Chains A and B, each alone.
Chain A
Amino acid sequence: MNINPFAVSSPEMMGADEINKLFVPLSENFEIDAPGHLFIHGHRGCGKSMMLRQMTPDCLMLSLNKSLSDLPFLGLYATIKSTDLDLTDFDRINNQYAGLVLAEHSLSLFVTSKVLQSLREHMGDSLNNVEAPKAIERLCSNLLLDKLRSVGADFSVSDNLTSTAEVLKQSIRVIDDVYGLMTSYLRKIGINESYIPYSGPLVGYRDFLFPFLCELTQLDCMPKGKPVYLLLDDADNLSLLQTQVLNNWVSFRTGNKVSFKISTQRGYKTWRTTTKQRIETPHDFKEVDISTIYTGKPSKTAYPKWVEDVVNKRLAQCAIKASAQEFFPNDYEQETKIQALARKRIENWEVEGKGFRPGDDAYRYARPDYIKGLGAKQMRTYSYAGYDQLVHISSGIIRYFLDNAATMYGDELKSKLSSGSKSDVGLSRISPSIQDQVVRDSADKLFFGALDKLEKDAAADQLGASVQQFGQLRNLIKALGGIFQAILLSNRSERRVFSIALSDSPPTEIMNILDLGVQHGYLYEAAIGTKDGRWRTRRYVMTRRLAPLFKLDPTGFSGYLFVTTQLLQTAILNPSRAVAEFESGRLGNVIENAQLPLEFQS
Chain B
Amino acid sequence: MSSRHWLPLELKLKEFAGSMKHDFPNQHADYWDRYTALLSNLDLNVYPHINAGLSCLSKSPGFYTDHGARHFDEVVKFAGLLIEDTFNQQNSALRPYELYLLLCAIRVHDAGNIDGREEHEKKASAILMKYGGQIQLDATELNLIAVIAQAHGGRTIDDDKDTIGKTVPEETTVGGGVDVRSQLVAALVRFADEICEHSARASMHHVSEGSLPEVNMLFHYYAASIAGAKPDRYNKAYKLQFSFDTALFVHKYLTPEDEAGNQTEKYLIDDVWDRINKLNHERVYCNRFLLPSMQTDRLEIKMTFFKTIDVSGTKVTTNCEQRDLTIKDEGYPSVPSAWREKEEMSELKGENLAGKAW
Q: Tell me whether B158 and A530 are in contact (CB under 8 A).
A: no
Complex Cα distance A503/B358, Å?
9
Scan B330-358; emit 1 where CB is below 8 A from any A CB, else 0: 00000000000011100000011011111
Q: Tell me whether A198 and B351 are in contact (CB under 8 A).
A: no
Q: Tell me whether B172 and A97 are in contact (CB under 8 A).
A: yes
Contacts known (A102-B140, A150-B129); A503 close to B166, Cβ less than 8 A: no
Contacts known (A210-B157, A278-B344, A532-B355); A94 close to B177, Cβ less than 8 A: yes
Interface segment out of the listed B131-139, B206-214, B221-229, B263-271: B131-139
Choose one: B25, B139, B172, B342; the contact of A200 (CB below 8 Å): B139
Q: Tell me whether A505 and B173 are in contact (CB under 8 A).
A: no
Q: How far is the CB of A554 from chain B (nearest CB, A)?
A: 31
Interface residues in B1-51 by Cβ distance below 8 A to A read 25-26, 28
Scan B134-167; emit 1 where CB is below 8 A from any A CB, else 0: 0011111111100000000000111000000111
Q: Tell me whether A530 and B355 are in contact (CB under 8 A).
A: yes
Q: Is B204 on the interface with A (CB-CB < 8 A)? A: no
Complex Cα distance A199/B136, Å?
7
Q: Tell me whether B157 and A97 are in contact (CB under 8 A).
A: no
Scan A64-100; emit 1 where CB is below 8 A from any B CB, else 0: 0000000000000000000000000000001111101
Contacts known (A195-B25, A197-B137); A505 close to B358, Cβ less than 8 A: yes
Q: Is A138 on the interface with B (CB-CB < 8 A)? A: no
Q: Is A101 on the interface with B (CB-CB < 8 A)? A: yes
Contacts known (A280-B342, A535-B356); A207 close to B122, Cβ less than 8 A: yes
Q: Tell me whether B351 and A97 are in contact (CB under 8 A).
A: no
Residue of B nearest to A251 (CB): B166
Q: Tell me whether B157 and A197 are in contact (CB under 8 A).
A: no
Contacts known (A95-B174, A505-B358, A530-B357); A535 close to B352, Cβ less than 8 A: yes
Q: Tell me whether A281 and B129 are in contact (CB under 8 A).
A: no
Q: Tell me whether A534 and B355 are in contact (CB under 8 A).
A: yes
Contacts known (A503-B357, A504-B357, A504-B358); A199 close to B137, Cβ less than 8 A: yes
Chain B residues, CB < 8 A from A201: 139
A to B contact number (C-beta, < 8 Å): 102
Chain B residues, CB < 8 A from A526: none
Q: Tell me whether B158 and A199 are in contact (CB under 8 A).
A: no
Complex Cα distance A101/B138, Å?
12
Q: Is A206 on the interface with B (CB-CB < 8 A)? A: yes
Q: Is A323 on the interface with B (CB-CB < 8 A)? A: no
Residue of A nearest to B141 (CB): A197
Contacts known (A95-B174, A100-B172, A280-B342); A199 close to B138, Cβ less than 8 A: yes
Q: Is A252 on the interface with B (CB-CB < 8 A)? A: yes
Q: Tell me whether B143 and A101 are in contact (CB under 8 A).
A: yes
Q: How far is the CB of B244 from chain A (nearest CB, A)?
A: 41
Q: Is A254 on the interface with B (CB-CB < 8 A)? A: yes
Q: Chain A CB within 10 Å — which of B28, B144, B356 has the most? A: B356
Residue of B nearest to A94 (CB): B177
Chain A residues, CB < 8 A from B158: 252-254
Q: Is A180 on the interface with B (CB-CB < 8 A)? A: no
Q: Is A377 on the interface with B (CB-CB < 8 A)? A: no
Q: Chain B CB within 10 Å — which of A197, A254, A274, A536 has the most? A: A197
Complex Cα distance A150/B130, Å?
9
Complex Cα distance A114/B326, Å?
56
Complex Cα distance A202/B25, Å?
20
Interface residues in A244-277 by Cβ distance below 8 A to B read 251-254, 274-276
Complex Cα distance A198/B174, Å?
12
Q: How far is the CB of B179 from chain A (nearest CB, A)?
A: 9
Q: Is B175 on the interface with A (CB-CB < 8 A)? A: yes
Q: How far is the CB of B141 from chain A (nearest CB, A)?
A: 7
Q: Is A152 on the interface with B (CB-CB < 8 A)? A: yes
Q: Is A417 on the interface with B (CB-CB < 8 A)? A: no
Q: Is A151 on the interface with B (CB-CB < 8 A)? A: yes
Complex Cα distance A96/B141, Å?
12
Q: How far is the CB of A287 from chain B (nearest CB, A)?
A: 10
Chain A residues, CB < 8 A from B352: 534-536
Chain B residues, CB < 8 A from A503: 357
Q: Is B106 on the interface with A (CB-CB < 8 A)? A: no
Complex Cα distance A504/B138, Å?
54
Residue of A nearest to B174 (CB): A97
Contacts known (A197-B138, A201-B139, A206-B157); A534 close to B126, Cβ less than 8 A: no
Chain B residues, CB < 8 A from A98: 140, 174-175
Residue of B nearest to A104 (CB): B143
Scan A102-127; emit 1 where CB is below 8 A from any B CB, else 0: 10000000000000000000000000
Scan B118-130; emit 1 where CB is below 8 A from any A CB, else 0: 0000100110010
Q: Is B292 on the interface with A (CB-CB < 8 A)? A: no
Interface residues in B168-206 by Cβ distance below 8 A to A read 168-170, 172-177, 180
Q: How far is the CB of B68 from chain A (nearest CB, A)?
A: 24
Q: Tell me whether B129 and A151 are in contact (CB under 8 A).
A: yes
Complex Cα distance A306/B200, Å?
74
Q: How far is the CB of B70 from chain A (nearest CB, A)?
A: 28
Scan A482-521; emit 1 where CB is below 8 A from any B CB, else 0: 0000000000000000000001110000000000000000
Q: How far is the CB of B348 from chain A (nearest CB, A)?
A: 12
Interface residues in A520-560 by Cβ distance below 8 A to B read 530, 532, 534-536
Chain A residues, CB < 8 A from B177: 94
Q: Tell me whether B357 and A505 are in contact (CB under 8 A).
A: yes
Q: How far is the CB of A251 from chain B (nearest CB, A)?
A: 7
Chain B residues, CB < 8 A from A276: 170
Contacts known (A94-B177, A275-B166); A207 close to B125, Cβ less than 8 A: yes
Scan A221-257; emit 1 where CB is below 8 A from any B CB, else 0: 0000000000000000000000000000001111000
Contacts known (A278-B344, A530-B355, A535-B355); A252 close to B173, Cβ less than 8 A: no
Residue of B nearest to A273 (CB): B166
Chain B residues, CB < 8 A from A199: 136-139
Q: Tell me whether B140 and A202 are in contact (CB under 8 A).
A: yes
Residue of B nearest to A204 (CB): B143
Choose one: A100, A207, A210, A280; the contact of B343 (CB below 8 Å): A280
Q: Tell me whether A96 and B357 are in contact (CB under 8 A).
A: no
Complex Cα distance A274/B141, Å?
17
Residue of A nearest to B358 (CB): A505
Chain B residues, CB < 8 A from A253: 158
Complex Cα distance A86/B175, Å?
21
Chain B residues, CB < 8 A from A197: 26, 137-141, 175
Chain A residues, CB < 8 A from B28: 195
Contacts known (A278-B344, A281-B343); A202 close to B139, Cβ less than 8 A: yes
Complex Cα distance A278/B137, Å?
34
Q: Chain B CB within 10 Å — which of A206, A253, A275, A276 has the most? A: A275
Q: Tell me whether A252 and B355 are in contact (CB under 8 A).
A: no
Q: Tell me whether B342 and A275 are in contact (CB under 8 A).
A: no
Q: How far is the CB of B294 from chain A (nearest CB, A)?
A: 21
Residue of B nearest to A214 (CB): B157
Chain B residues, CB < 8 A from A195: 25-26, 28, 175-176
Q: Tell me whether B157 and A252 are in contact (CB under 8 A).
A: yes
Choose one: A96, A152, A210, A280; the contact of B174 (CB below 8 Å): A96
Complex Cα distance A200/B126, Å?
14
Complex Cα distance A536/B129, Å?
56
Q: How far is the CB of B47 from chain A (nearest CB, A)?
A: 21
Q: How far is the CB of A213 from chain B (nearest CB, A)?
A: 11
Q: How far is the CB of A122 from chain B (nearest CB, A)?
A: 25
Chain B residues, CB < 8 A from A200: 139
Chain A residues, CB < 8 A from B137: 197, 199
Complex Cα distance A532/B355, Å?
8
Top 10 nearest A-B pairs (CB, nearest first) are: A534-B355, A197-B138, A535-B355, A96-B173, A98-B140, A252-B158, A97-B172, A504-B357, A253-B158, A95-B175
User: Can you list 9 A-B pairs with a CB-CB distance of less than 8 A?
Assistant: A101-B144, A152-B129, A197-B137, A199-B139, A202-B140, A206-B167, A275-B170, A278-B342, A280-B342
Identify 18 new A-B residue pairs, CB closer than 8 A, beyond the known A97-B172, A195-B25.
A94-B177, A96-B174, A97-B180, A98-B175, A151-B125, A152-B129, A152-B136, A197-B138, A197-B139, A199-B139, A210-B157, A251-B166, A252-B158, A275-B166, A275-B168, A275-B170, A278-B344, A535-B352
